[in-house]
Structure 1
Amino acid sequence: MWVEPLGPSAQVFSKFEAPKRRRLSKSSEFPSPTPSPSSDAWIDIHPSSGPVTPWSWSTLSSPREYRTITSGFSPVMDADEPSPTDIDMCISGAVIPQPQGYISHLSTHETHYLQYHMEQGSRLLANLESEDNPLRSILIPRAMSSPLLMKAVCAVSALHLANRSHGFGAHNAAVNYYSGTLNGLRSALGKCSTEVFPDDALLAVGLLCKYEIVRGSVKQWVVHLNALQRLIVSRGGFASMDRDAAEFLRGLFVYAYQMARISNHNRITSADICVDSNIGIPKLDIYIGYTEELLELCARIAELPSLKNDTLALRLTVASMYVFCSLPSFNLFHPTNPPRNESLLVWSHTSTPYIIPQGTSPATLTRLQLVAECFRDAGFTYLHSIMERISRDHPDTTLMSPSTDLPPQPPFSTHDWLPLISTPKQLAVHRCLARVETFPLDDHCEYSALTFPLFISGCESENVADRDVVLGSLGKLQDNFGIGNVRRAKELLGILWARRDADAGLYGAVGVDRKKMHWLDIVEELGWELILA
């Protein structure tokens, strides 16, 4: 693409005062900004009866002169053409890219946002940085030959730039690229009866999920995730795809899907695709890192309420971290079917071997390990959280065993399950937050994965002073990585804390027993599709 590929830390962005913005002419590439996507802006995987014309794809720019410079190509632009800087800047002092290159078949805007993705977005929108970052090595070459994927990449890139610079022009461009991606996907779906849904279109759907996470959506992203799952199934699973694309989409899907089960268990559909790609030792994924087993355990914890009517199964499951709800006829007493070991207690980042991506430094791996340890603490905290909600909602019910050979079981109180969890809740919270306080929380992207551990710690901490640590840390993540879902996590914590404080003031003094407000109560009350990925 450039004479010399620009590394992720290339210093080509600088602070400067914004020039006076010029009004765009009617012939500008972008039409008038469309409204932000609403709750009905999603992919309909059922083809419509009529064809859908894609919103203006990459227009071929007129030939321009260019000169070779050290870092790439620099176009000689017409004086009347609005530069990306004019379009994207609305306040001074923001970090804005200076276009360094020109590619003949891309518009100025596409070159601008593609370069931002190359140099900044691809590094900050992953949980692992390496020379082999697929957000660059896979997406960019494919986008160069796929107008649909280019629109999806530019949508995510422009939105991320808007989050970090508060640029209205970049935000409007993101909305337009998003709309163009949706229209292009509808057109591609219309051809599914005669053609195989292509890998590049699947990658574009995956980027729509990513777009909603970056935007901080609470309505659309589950629809995109469910659509991605059904489309992969219709293709024959990951095994039917190009290996590089399959590995990238598998990591993105597993990460988002497991996080969806944790915070939106009632909204996400069951996965029908096999996430095991049967490719031997897996590569350390840019989203999952060392946390795949921990994410699976937390997702299983989310299913514990389905066992609330079977005390014995619930007790064994809490002790073993193995969910039997998918096996209703399972003989819990059979000697050949003992429960698993305490998975959270014995977990180690070395439990599963991984292929380390090229160019991954030892310091990066250390950060990944520390983040994974925070996820383990979060797993203990989450387990306590779910069990407390079960006990709160079903405090004095005599439970019946699913087996007709067993007598009715006694109520399952806090005193029954609390000793089964090896790590007390407040110890797990303290350990997680104490570890986070030792992190610089700078722009090393491994830290961007800490949203869930910080959120669940803030929800379950009984120490009011911890709120400052949680909010301060989430604020650093929001400022350094520009991902909108962090803002949503902070908003929900604010609502939760306010409700709990109000309840404590109204009922605590007079000794009235009141159910403790749970964070899932707030999620359900708001109707949010909360995403903590």
Structure 2
Amino acid sequence: MRSLTENTTDNAKHLVKKRARREGSKWTRSGCLTCKKRRKRCDETKPSCQACARLGLDCGGYGSMWAEPLNPSADVFQTAPAKRRRVSLSPNLSASSPVTPLDQYSPGSTVSTGVSTIPSTPSDYDSIGAYTPQTESSNETDGQLLDLTDRAMVVSKPCGTLSHLSNLETHYLQYHMEKGSKLLANLESAENPLRSLIIPRALSSPLLMKALCAMSAMHFANRSYDSLSAQTTAANYYIRTMSGLRSGLSRCPVGAFPSESILAVALLCKYEIVRGSVKQWAVHLNALEKLIISRGGFSTFDQETAEFLWGLFMYSHNVARVTNRKQIVNCLSDGETFTLTRLDIYIGYTEDIIKLCPRISDLPQLTHDPVSLALEIQTIDTLLHTWTHTSTTYTIPKGTTQASLHRLRMVAECFRDAAYIYLHSTLDRMTQSYTTLISRTKQEAVHSCLERIATFPLDEHCEYSALTFPLFITGCETHDPDARDLVIRSLTKLEINFGIGNVKRAKELLAFLWRGQSMHWLDVLEGLNWNLNLA
């Protein structure tokens, strides 16, 4: 009996070993794209591998994983069950999830994909240590911290100047370089600073690399239906960036903050907008402004860095004033600002228009002085009426196509329509009517904006990603079912094509507005306690 038992055990062990060998050869990170996605070994035959030919599959070739747009349902990460997880997250709303009723939203729970405890004021940059994983050490790799050692990254093995990066960093750096940087700007060119400026600086700055990976991972998660693993990675890099900022800034004398630290804060602003934050982006935007002021203004940076920071700050700050009248205050003096000479990747031809948004937002402060109010309305109307895309001359970045410039001009026209709509919407809340002072009616501006947008294909050309603000304000001020349907369909295209979370927040707010009683959209925002950013 004992011998029979031993033989049975030996046979079982032999069967397990044999089965393990038959499950497939060791998978490698090289090979064609099809084998990478299937996590199968590739024989690497050129131009197409024999493994794909034998199975009747289309060989994807040996190019970049991001050469073509990532299918939102593509299962890039084939993961084994996690043994442990050191970062606790609340998953974000999925791209297809229904809009939650108003009473289910709260300031603390709104669309949070990051850690549950996040600094809420700029001064909390000095107390961020409480949010850093206690088990993190300088010798611990990215994969160990998040228990991602078994995950297969679709990147080549780091070599040369990239050998100091982890596989995870290399993966998200490659994604940013080949895909993310082209979708997170409103103008693509050979001189896109998200590549030409940020990547070289990040390769020599671990702090900036972490901020870049946080933004890249969050964008990847949005483009792959909120992949939980990518969200977890993004949250981890966010925490580590904040910890690094706290440590680095505490050691710097006032006025000597390094450019890389300030660029990292700028990327955290983008991270929050990509995430769809309705709170935290304002913390980083205010911190960015204060750090620049403490350093002495934009003149203390090199030209390329100053252009990037000023474009991002001015665009985010001015557009944010549309929906955040109380939270956003400009502290920069005229001597600390910057003048754009190159066509900016965020602003395009809209600079003169978006600068009017704070002036429109401040109109209610003049209600005690009807004469000054009427004069300001007439001035704004004149500036909008006489604006053309040639009002300001810019240097065109190398590699910018005429088709891109045409799309930028069309988008800028939509911004002018949106500014007219916003002007009317602001005056509608006043007891006395001033709409007769405006040369264009609200209905004319709404019709013009939607008619122009209906002609756009709204594909992955990044210029269209700037249309969130015009679509949102138009949706707020139209009651026509067909017009509302066009707005939602257009926003959905932007959400899918560009993976920026604030588009989803705009859609949710419109759903609340249209479903509820007759309320002004600013009142709905206040009821939700949302600080929405439409940048």
TM-score by length of 1: 0.77
| Pair 1:524-2:526 in alignment | yes
Q: Give the Cα separation in 1 of the matches to 2:369 and 2:441.
A: 24
Provide the residue aligned with 2:115 in structure 1: 37
Deviation readout 1:299-320 (Å, 9 max, x if unpaired) = 2100000011111111111112
Provide the residue aligned with 2:155 in structure 1: 99
SS in 1 for 2:446: helix
Give the letter for the 1:424 counterpart: T
Give the letter for the 1:464 counterpart: P
Give the letter for the 1:466 counterpart: A
Report the CA distance shift for 1:49/1:133 in structure 2 as closer, same or farther (over 3 A).
Answer: closer
Provide the residue aligned with 2:400 in structure 1: 360
Q: Give the Cα separation in 2 of the matches to 1:427 and 1:110.
A: 49
Deviation readout 1:464-516 (Å, 9 max, x if unpaired) = 3211000000000000000000011111111111123xx5xxxxxxxxxxxxx
Report deviation, 1:525: 1.5
Report deviation, 1:420: 0.9
Q: Which runs of 5+ in 2 are unaligned?
A: 1-62, 91-113, 143-147
Deviation readout 1:39-96 (Å, 9 max, x if unpaired) = 643564477489889765886989xxxxxxxxxxxxxxxxx952345xxxxxxxxxxx
Q: 1:215·1:483 contact (CA, 8 Å) conserved in 2?
A: yes
Give the letter for the 2:511 counterpart: G
Mapping for residues 265-414 of structure 1, pairs under 5 Å: 265-274=325-334, 282-321=341-380, 342-391=382-431, 413-414=432-433
Q: Give the Cα separation in 1 of the matches to 2:307 and 2:262.
A: 12
Q: Which runs of 5+ in 1 are unaligned?
A: 1-5, 63-79, 86-97, 322-340, 392-412, 504-516
Report the CA distance shift for 1:142/1:464 in structure 2 as closer, same or farther (over 3 A).
Answer: same
Provide the residue aligned with 2:151 in structure 1: 83
Counterpart of 1:193 (choices 247, 253, 263) is 253
Q: 1:214·1:482 contact (CA, 8 Å) conserved in 2?
A: yes
Report the CA distance shift for 1:57/1:135 in structure 2 as closer, same or farther (over 3 A).
Answer: farther
Give the letter for the 2:243 counterpart: N
Provide the residue aligned with 1:435 in structure 2: 452
Counterpart of 1:255 (choices 280, 305, 315) is 315
Q: 2:127·2:246 contact (CA, 8 Å) conserved in 1?
A: no
Give the letter for the 1:255 counterpart: Y
Q: Give the Cα separation in 1 of the matches to 2:477 and 2:282.
A: 25
Report deviation, 1:122: 0.4
Provide the residue aligned with 2:292 in structure 1: 232
SS in 2 for 1:342: helix
Q: Give the Cα separation in 2 of the matches to 1:303 and 1:253.
A: 19
Give the letter for the 1:269 counterpart: V
Q: 1:375·1:453 contact (CA, 8 Å) conserved in 2?
A: yes
Report deviation, 1:383: 0.4
Report deviation, 1:436: 0.4
SS in 2 for 1:287: coil
Report deviation, 1:418: 1.9
SS in 2 for 1:422: coil
Counterpart of 2:172 (choices 90, 96, 113) is 113
| Pair 1:10-2:43 in alignment | no
Q: 1:160·1:483 contact (CA, 8 Å) conserved in 2?
A: yes
Identity of aligned residues (%): 51
Deviation readout 1:276-335 (Å, 9 max, x if unpaired) = 7566x61111001110110011221000000111111111111121xxxxxxxxxxxxxx
Give the letter for the 1:306 counterpart: Q
Report the CA distance shift for 1:197/1:8 in structure 2 as closer, same or farther (over 3 A).
Answer: farther
Give the letter for the 2:79 counterpart: R
Q: 2:117·2:131 contact (CA, 8 Å) conserved in 1?
A: no
Q: Give the Cα separation in 1 of the matches to 2:374 and 2:254.
A: 52
Provide the aligned C-alpha RMSD in A. 2.8
Counterpart of 1:206 (choices 266, 270, 274) is 266
Deviation readout 1:16-35 (Å, 9 max, x if unpaired) = 66675213567xxx844456
Provide the residue aligned with 1:448 in structure 2: 465
Deviation readout 1:380-421 (Å, 9 max, x if unpaired) = 100000000123xxxxxxxxxxxxxxxxxxxxx32xx22211
Q: 2:132·2:239 contact (CA, 8 Å) conserved in 1?
A: no
Report the CA distance shift for 1:159/1:369 in structure 2 as closer, same or farther (over 3 A).
Answer: same
Q: 1:378·1:432 contact (CA, 8 Å) conserved in 2?
A: yes
Moved more, 219-228 or 46-55: 46-55
Counterpart of 1:488 (choices 505, 516, 530) is 505
Moved more, 187-196 or 461-470: 187-196
Provide the residue aligned with 2:303 in structure 1: 243
Provide the residue aligned with 2:209 in structure 1: 150
Give the letter for the 1:363 counterpart: A
Q: 1:58·1:147 contact (CA, 8 Å) conserved in 2?
A: no
Give the letter for the 2:150 counterpart: P
Q: 1:54·1:180 contact (CA, 8 Å) conserved in 2?
A: yes
Give the letter for the 2:238 counterpart: Y
Q: 1:138·1:244 contact (CA, 8 Å) conserved in 2?
A: yes
Deviation readout 1:98-154 (Å, 9 max, x if unpaired) = 314512100010000110001111000011101110001111111011110000000
Counterpart of 2:438 (choices 396, 421, 428) is 421
Q: Give the Cα separation in 2 of the matches to 1:84 and 1:274.
A: 50
| Pair 1:474-2:491 in alignment | yes
SS in 2 for 1:465: helix
Give the letter for the 1:99 counterpart: V
Q: Give the Cα separation in 1 of the matches to 2:128 and 2:508.
A: 41
Report deviation, 1:192: 2.5
Report the CA distance shift for 1:354/1:311 in structure 2 as closer, same or farther (over 3 A).
Answer: same
Q: Aligned pair count? A: 438
Q: 2:183·2:460 contact (CA, 8 Å) conserved in 1?
A: yes
Deviation readout 1:410-468 (Å, 9 max, x if unpaired) = xxx32xx2221101101100100110010000000000000000000000113232110
Give the letter for the 1:530 counterpart: L
Provide the residue aligned with 2:13 in structure 1: none
Q: Give the Cα separation in 2 of the matches to 1:81 and 1:210.
A: 28
Report the CA distance shift for 1:469/1:194 in structure 2 as closer, same or farther (over 3 A).
Answer: closer
Q: Give the Cα separation in 1 of the matches to 2:156 and 2:397.
A: 28
Q: Give the Cα separation in 1 of the matches to 2:128 and 2:117.
A: 23
Report the CA distance shift for 1:54/1:148 in structure 2 as closer, same or farther (over 3 A).
Answer: farther
Provide the residue aligned with 1:400 in structure 2: none
Q: Give the Cα separation in 2 of the matches to 1:60 and 1:386.
A: 53
Report deviation, 1:241: 1.4
Report the CA distance shift for 1:21/1:521 in structure 2 as closer, same or farther (over 3 A).
Answer: same
Moved more, 112-121 or 455-464: 455-464
Whichever structure has more helix as a proportion of its residues is 2
